[in-house]
Structure formats: structure tokens, C-alpha cells
Chains A and B, each alone.
Chain A
Amino acid sequence: MVRELALNIVVLLLATRGVALVAQTSAMPQPGFKLTLSEGRRDATMVSWQTKLVVRFTNTSNGIIREDACSAAGGLYKLSVVYNGVPVQEPEDVRKSRESVEAAEAKGGLCSGSVPGRHIQPGEHWEDTFAYNTTNSGTYEFTVEEKAFLQEPEKTVTVKSNTVTVIVAESHAGVAK
């Protein structure tokens, strides 16, 4: 019964992530979301050699945004890191994993995993928390980005967050594996 009811409302006015539902006045479509990065507060469970980062995903479109199995929990985020002024190359396995998820998202969310229940109305946001191994002392600059319109390659644009700078005074090299 629930499923039948749900099917009847399947094509209601709901936004696909990165697709603006309203007609845009400019030539370029708007991504429909923005990313805000901040440093998370340390807590008693954190290991000394990690830094916590919090990404706020804000719905700037006029429709609901709901995650799918690919985008869940920040699955489409790319973290860019500059360490002491030198860009850190994204690890090969991380790049491949991210690109495979992006490709699956472009095909309609063909990922195995958990489909989350998170959805946000216009103006609302959700947050994802992750970490980075800041094992060496120095200055780290973090930026997070995500591609919008993955299902329409000709429109694909990259949305970037602000940059967060973290200065690590104490080296933990050798501690982290």
C-alpha cells in the first residue's frame, strides 16, 4: 500500500541534486547548492594526528534536494589540500573511487550502499564530517568541491567551498599509519 501511494507521487516537483528546477534568467544554470567548509571542534575521541572538517551543504535551489546512494554522506565531495603552499595530489585510489561514484551518479545513482533519508528544503542544509591526517607540522589549506549536473555532462560545473587554513604546530609523523 505504501509503495503504491509512493509510486503515484513519483514525479512530483522535486529537485535532482545539482539541477535547478526554476527557470534561470541567465544562460548558465545554477548548481542549486553551495558548500561551506569549516574546521570541526576536537573532541575526546579524536586521535592527535587528525583534523576534523565539516562540510555544510546548503540548498540554494527552489526545490527539495535529496541524497541518493552515490551522493550519500559526501560521496561526491573532492577534498583538495595544499600543504605548506604545495598542492597535495589526490591519492590514486581515492581519485578512482570518487570518479567511479561520479560516473554511477551520472547514470542515476547506481551505487550499492545505503540510501539515506536526508533531504533539505530550499535554504536548509545538512552537514557531513570527515577527517584529514595532519601528521606533519605545517600549514594545511583545505577546500572541498563537488560537481553539479553530473547527469548532463554539457552542463557539469564544479562548486567549490571556501578555503580553511589549519596550522599544525606539533608533528605526529610516525604516529599515524
Chain B
Amino acid sequence: MSMSQISDFKVLSPTMITATILPTNTDPTEAASVTVGDGFIYAGPIQPANASSGYSPWTNLWGMTASAQILAPAQIMWNGKPISGADPSTQSAVVGQQIYLATATPGLPDSLSITKGTWTVGGTNIGKYSIVRPVPGSTVSSATVTPTTLTNNPGEDPLTTLTTYWLYPKDNVSVTYQYCAIITGLSKPDADAGANCSLDATAKFNVTGPSAEVTPSTLGWWVSYKYASCPSSPQLLVYGTVFPCSTSTFVPGIRFTPINVSNDSGGTFQWVQVISGNIASCTIPNGRCTSQPLGTGLDLSYPYPFGNENEAEDTPTLGLDNTVNTESRAFKATMYLEWIPNGEPDLVIPVPIAQVVWNIKGTATQSANYWRFSSAADLAPVSQPSTDDGPFHGLPTWNAVVLKRVPQKGGQ
């Protein structure tokens, strides 16, 4: 039998000794025990042994034994190369990039049955970001975030690979892997104490990514004019400026502009808007008007269609109905700026960069079939960098898509 290498022998306390034992590749599972013999060890402060404090730091450990964990660490592999070991070099990754790691356990005999693999992953990470995209005419759509799978359940195949995505830049992020196996002859207490599990394999990553802020600029509410040349066109309550019955230039109600963009990684920016409040309400003479929910969820499509690298904009509108006295529209949404790294599309996901929460309400009043703007109750939009708060780590999620609506005749 070849000999294992023992190093870093340390006495930490009267009852704890640690040492690093490196099994040979030809016998990585050799049984081992640590036996302390021949006298005493010193585990106390440096002072004369005959000090009169009543406390003796010297302990007789003669004959004591303890089992040692000697399953060698696996090797963490990335793109076919080992990235863990005694002195692993730090790897470079970008946010949104799929990180697929495999493992190798060289020298393990076939008789050894690995039952469990466990990963720990530093930084903010997820396993999957799944989007059910809108189908024309249907309100079905969703976005869900799945945590990274870090281990296998009992009875399942041992987890030997890792698929994860980091969402935020961070240096010196650790990834460790440990496997556990059935070792014949190992006592249950020792197995429960982890003696059937390997030492950790550790890899290090520097995760980079862009940063940006988003500045919102708003215009306010307006009621469009009625044009004699276009009698069938309705007046609109508009957050912004729109000209019905023509396609002339208009000014959006809110414009989102990225600023202080720091991006050395290429990639592309995109926008996603999620509506959280969206109600049309009205009043009618001597009657009752019911608020009309216009839907919450993803705004129209994924990604948000009315944006590019330089800006996004929105102009909520409400068609005004002459059978009612007043009409209002309340609208609350969060606009997300996301970034997708360069790479094969099926190996990258969008990551959150910044977001703006905006909340508006406008009211128009009708008299003699002519509508005028009457009041607004808008809150100042709040812009902030995306953060790791919450279970979705700053990624937009939704459970439906908001389609465009055609107002019901007669008011509601």
C-alpha cells in the first residue's frame, strides 16, 4: 500500500486535532485513524506548566483514536479543464452567462458508490429563468425563477454537475463541491458526522457585468382634440400627447433613458415592463359606474416592444365614451432595464440592471360631448438599481400578459 501524505497537523484544543491527509490516487479511500500516543499535548496559553491557576492546559490523550475523513476532493471541471485544486486560479465569468460545471473523481474504485453530490455557490445565482411567451390573443404568459439545483434527493442519481447563472457582478465568488459515498465498514455515527463525504473542491470566479441607471422623464396627462375632419375618431385621455386619426408625431407620457452606463462586456440591453395596477373608472349622471380592470402582468409582449438601447417609452391611453360624465385611468408599472451578454442565445439569460416604478392617474370630464382634462394624481417615478431583494433577485416575473383593450360601449 502506498502512503498518504499528512500535513498541517494542528492541535486546536484538548479534544480537537486536525490534519490534512492526501490519499494517493491509487488508494483514495484507504481507512485511517488518528491515534495519539506517548503522553501529553499542550493546548493552552503559553505559561509554565506548574502555574498555580488550577487549570492545566496539558491533556493526556494517550490511546485516543478518531476516524478521519479521507475521501479525496473531486475536481471541478469547466469547459473540460480542472479549475479546482490546492491553488485554483480565479476564473472569469459574466453575469447572465450559463455556468456549467462538471466534476471528476479520479482514482475512485468502481466499488465505491457515490450517493450524493452537493454544491455551494456564492453570489446571487439562479438555476433557470423560464418565460412562457405570449401567444397572440391569449392572456397566458408567465416568467418564473428557479433556484440553482445544489444537491440530489435521497434515491436520486448523485448530482455531479452544476448549471447556474450569476445575476450580479462580484469578485472572488466561491463554488465548492463535495460528494458522499457508501463506505463499507464505516460506523453510522461516523457516517452521520460526514466521514463518508469528501473534502471540498473549491473553484473561484470573478463575475463581471455592466451597470447603469435609468432616468425617467414625464410629460403628464392630456385629452386629445376632436378633429372635424375625422368625426369617428374618439377623444383620448392620454398620458402624453397623441393625435387620433392621424399618425403625426407625438410625445410619450414617460421616457426611460439609461445613464451612467458602464459596460465593457458588449451584450445588449432590453426592456421589460410589468403592470401592477391598471384600472379604468367612470361616473355617469344619476347612475352607477363600475371600475373596469384592464389587467395586470407583462405589458404587451416580451421584451417590451417600444424600446431600444437608448430609451424606452410609454403612453397609456383611454378611449373616452360620451355616454359617461367622467373617466379616469390609474396605471402602475415597473419598467426593467435588462442586459443580455454576448453568446449563444441558449446559453445566456437576461439579468436585471435597473428599474423604474411609476404610478399615475388622470381624469377627464365630458360636457356637451366634448372632453377636457380635469385632474391628475401622479406620483413621482422611482428609479433604482436592481437589487437582490426578494425571491426573484430583481428579475421581472408575471403570471399573465396584458392585451390591449377595446372600451365597452355605454361606459362601465
Contact = CB atoms under 8 A, between A and B. Distances in A.
Verify that A and B bind, or say they do not: yes
Interface of A: 2-3, 6-7, 9-12, 14-17, 41-47, 50, 52, 64-66, 68-70, 72-75, 77-79, 90-91, 93-95, 97-98, 100-101, 103-104, 107-119, 128-133, 177
A100 B406 contact: yes
B interface bracket (residues with beta carbon within 8 Å of A): 35 or more
A119 B136 CA distance: 22
B46 interface: no
A45 B128 CA distance: 7
B248 A75 contact: no
B247 A130 contact: no
The 3 closest A-B pairs by CB, nearest first: A94-B137, A108-B233, A131-B133
B260 interface: no
A87 to B, nearest CB: 16
B138 A112 contact: no
A72 B403 CA distance: 10
Contacts of A130: 133-136, 301
Given A101-B406, A112-B280, A112-B405, A74 B136 contact: yes
Nearest to B319: A110
Contact of A107 (B234, B299, B302, B306): B234
A10 B224 CA distance: 12
B345 A43 contact: yes
Contacts of A101: 404, 406
A50 B245 contact: no
Interface of B: 98, 129-138, 140, 143, 219, 222, 225, 227, 229-230, 232-234, 238, 240-252, 280, 294, 299-302, 305-306, 313-319, 329, 345-350, 402-407
B246 A69 contact: no
- Consensus secondary structure, chain B interface: loop
A66 B247 contact: yes
Contacts of B230: 108
Contact of A94 (B136, B143, B243, B306): B136
Given A93-B137, A109-B233, A111-B404, A6 B132 contact: no
B294 A42 contact: no
B345 A16 contact: no
A75 B280 CA distance: 20
B317 A65 contact: no
Contact of A70 (B242, B345, B402, B404): B404
Most chain A CB inside 10 Å of its own CB: which residue of B134, B234, B247, B299: B247
Contacts of B294: 112-113
Given A6-B243, A108-B245, A109-B244, A45 B250 contact: no
A101 B307 CA distance: 23
A3 B373 CA distance: 14
Contact of A14 (B136, B247, B350, B404): B247
A111 B408 CA distance: 10
A43 B346 contact: yes
16 contacts: A6-B241, A6-B243, A11-B229, A45-B129, A45-B349, A66-B248, A68-B244, A72-B306, A73-B305, A79-B136, A107-B233, A108-B244, A110-B407, A112-B406, A114-B317, A132-B135
A46 B301 CA distance: 14
